[in-house]
Amino acid sequence: MSRISDTRLRTREAAARLVAAGRRPHELTVDLIYAEIRQGSRTTINDELKLWKDEQARNDALAAALPASVANVMRSLWALAVEHGEQVFAARGEELEREAVESTARAESLGTTVAALEAQVQTLRTQLEERETRLAAAAAGLARSQAEREAALQTAQAVAAERDAARVQSGEALRTAQDTHARELEAQRAEHAGREAALRAQIDQAASRLESVQKHVLLQTEEARGAQRRAETALDRVQQRNEQLVGDVQRLAAEAAEQRRLADRHEKQLASVIDEARELRRDRDTLAQQVASLQGQLKARPQPAGARQGKARP
């Protein structure tokens, strides 16, 4: 039997004992009853005591209006009916309380499940953020590699431009030297044969200058070729790094998509569990309302006088 029903029953039993000990029903108070039973709230005791006093008043009126034998029979029948009704109410109350306890336990279990799923969703979100961070870092690395490749291309273009400029410069120097040599040769031919030795010296000097210019041109050409080879090597390394970064970006994008799919699935499971928990809470509230309704019906049910007194007195 529940705690409330037990308090009401003990209230009636204590009232019957006090009346049997010589007190009048109207003299009984909540403090006297509480001093006897030592349990329950004073509000519950007061409500049950008022019902008991009303029953005693009706019982006294019935005893005065009917013959004693008839009144005793009616009291006995009513006492049996009330006892049976209380047993049925107590059994139904215990059943409803068990269902409420089970619903509460299921709600708590679902709450634990919801918390676990929320933790999993948070973990997946954290992993997804980490993946996105790594993806952003890879994209930044790809951008840097592309910038390095563009810089290498610009360097190679600059080296090629310098090489072309060196070729043009050497060609112009060669043409200038040849023109100078031709002019000097014509001038020497126009002069007398005595200056042939000086002309030869000048020719040797021009040849030496031409050889120096050719060596300089060849040296600049070799340097330009070396710079071009280094630029091509750097370009190859940048292209390899670019291909590797593209592969990493594609792999990270696939992993991020999988993490998003898992997060969506767990969020759907979480929503389903939350809906079930809400349904269980509504069921628990409905059961609690049914218990309160049964208790209110029992309080409001009229009882003939002497039902409890006949049960308590010999």
- Tens-binned pLDDT, residue by residue, of the chain (314 aa): 444 458 999 999 999 999 999 999 889 999 999 999 999 999 999 999 999 999 888 887 877 776 767 666 766 666 566 567 567 766 776 787 788 788 788 878 888 887 888 888 899 889 988 988 888 887 888 888 788 888 878 887 887 788 788 788 867 877 887 888 788 878 877 886 777 787 688 858 867 886 886 888 588 878 868 878 886 887 788 588 878 877 886 887 888 788 888 878 888 888 887 898 888 889 889 988 888 888 888 877 665 555 444 444 43
With 0.85 as the threshold, say if the pTM is over it. no
Q: Which CATH number fits domain 124-283: 1.10.3470, 1.10.1200, 2.20.25, 1.10.287?
A: 1.10.287
Residues of the chain with CATH 1.10.287: 124-283
Give the C-alpha distances (Å, rounded to integers) separating 235 from 89, 139, 153, 178, 244.
91, 19, 7, 41, 14
Q: Do the Cβ atoms of 281 and 107 come closer than 8 Å? A: yes
